[in-house]
Structure 1
């Protein structure tokens, strides 16, 4: 009873969240309690289906809400109700579903009580279907999860009932003695009455003189507690006890008391059982034969129903196993696809990383080239050019020095200065548009006009430093080549930008050249190719010179 009260309390708390605010009304509370009691303590089996329907609907709601604990409680009540109306297969199915939910629940330690109750229910199912080995097995499992003395006593008592059904009264008495020993430290008198009643029955079969004493003691406790359903059991067992020892008068007395209790309980099940008791105690050979035949037919029918139920159960299990196998195949197929995708992704990432490293390495090499050029430029300026300048000063101070020698030295100095200037570091911290414009316009003189188009519209901030340096160096080489060789009077440069690409068109009206003989333009071409860019030259003698740069 304690477990039932806790179960109802647990359910009632959940029901508050399931139903709208009107559920707080007394009428709704009474309805919930009535549906709960229809399963736990039914006045009639006709009320049980209503409770089963309610908890079946509630289970579906709880599963949608992902409330596993509530769904397990619903299934426990469904299993209990189905068992009481004789639907063995449906009861077992509900237990199995509840155990499956528990297995998938992450915090299994919190549902130990549920496991204990479900295995105990499963034991009752197997006992009812005469599958005694499975009944004992599941009772033992239930006992493993038992955490209270009261629960342990109930389960041990249930095991004793199985041994009693098997006719193994010694084993039954052994289990009941263990239960009795445990109950000595318990204050639960109804549990004590249950154990004493069953112990009395077993002892009567073994010819133990303490049998009647234990049966009477159990009856006294039950009568004092006004537990009519349990009192009925005591009356029935005493009637059978006296019938076995051929005390017909006492047997009829307790059989009548059992019938009266069944009438007060207003239960067809109890009335049927009480009337069956009178039949079993009738000495008429024909009635005895009728009783045996009736029991035999009922047992055969039960076995047939169980067989059909278990066939149905096995078919359902086979279907589930087939579905599980198909799901496993799909899972394995999915894993293969996943591994393939991961492999392709890994390959793509590897290629990407290799390209990234190559690009990084290439940029690093370009940076090193620029740094080397800048260092050489500085060294040429600081050492060679300065030394030449000092030599020129000394020679100028010597009146005997040849003017032609002085001119040659001055030319060498100018070339050295030009080399230093051409390869000097580019200051990127400045405004690059202005810096590039200054470079191009520095080649403008009385003989040559330099025109630039859209240079101010370029977004140089979006361009990497290496690209800017490359653009600067290439244009410098083109302009230097123009001033030295082309004799151009007009130079035009057009700039455009497409996403991350820079497009520059250079053209002059100089004397042109043979493209095969690129001379100083090889450096420009090499710089462009290093950054995966392109430079296309167009020129013929006396037809000017063009260059299209994409970077």
Structure 2
């Protein structure tokens, strides 16, 4: 039994807490609608009073997000009842909080609303340039079409004020279509009402239909401030159409709604509608003079809190800009240094890779040649020698066969020499000289210039092998094809390079790269060197190597 009592008490406590929480939620929703869509004369004052209390509470709690929201709603409420400067003060305070917080990016909707409201304030103060700037600020942070509708509408209002009716009508028509698709009835009504107003100035036949449709939507929603605008625009429409009776009827309706809104600004504006009904020229002159004085007063008394805020912001921006420039300068230097280092490393890596790749290929060729040389010498030459030895035992009648076999042996020995191992260490210069002299005979003379002056230790093993093979290829080519009687080869060191010039007095030919010349060219290119050939029939053969 005791357990049931405790359970019942616990249930009642939870239920009470839920009811209190629900009441608070319902209360917040009620006052929120009272500010945005007031339907009775008490709504705006009650909403403003409620959000002033909330503002004090949220400031004490250091709740920045809710403080910004409270300031925004207070700015809207004060603007609607005509307290323009109080509205502006709330906006500026809210913008300062938005700018000061690191989580400003999460306050996109608040920023849109604040800049939009600020633009409306400037428009009411006839500060057109600042109004347009504020609406553009709102559009600049709006992520979607839905978020852009309100500031776009207010931007079109500026065009209407400037009597740029075509520009305004295009925007209003766009907004009317988008609002209808988005099923936003109040925004649709606003766009239709504004579109109808500018269409009436353009003498467009669709003006009245749009004005009536906007009024009907607002009546169904009991949206008082919007309904006031509809009655006012309809009064103007019928006055311009020469229908004074209907115009006055809508002026009466506007005055009735203004009183229900309980706003001095709306009431004064509604009373001015009656002045336009009069045909007395003195009253018309009075209205014109009064309007001019009001405009002058508004401009003179335009105590622009946002301008002061902008001045402070500009000073902060200047300081921040200088700091940012210095930071950017340092970052740029660091970035350039990193890019330079990365570029150097990239190129170095590329050249190292290319060098290693070429070195590997050259070494593979050299190893292959050595392997072929050994195989030819070990297998072919040795076998041939055995055949020769066996034939010698059979007598002299086989001299012709022996001569042929001797030639084969010499040929295989030469192949072995051409592809055999090369000593690239201490005796390279002597070995190279011996190889060249091996092509000298009674019919061919050979002259070498500066060969013994070259410091071969300066050059890599790969270069030495390449030079050896290329010169060997040129000498072999000379012996086989050129019928030369004289060969000259000069050597000259050029900084880190070696220049070799080859020339013979052979029959020459039309330059056509045979496999031998192609091999020579490939070898030199693999060492990042250059080789050129010069020949023609009857003019010998020349080659220049730089490696």
TM-score by length of 1: 0.48
Point out which structure has higher relative CO (alpha carbons under 8 A, 6+ apart). 2
Normalising to structure 2: TM-score of the pair? Answer: 0.49
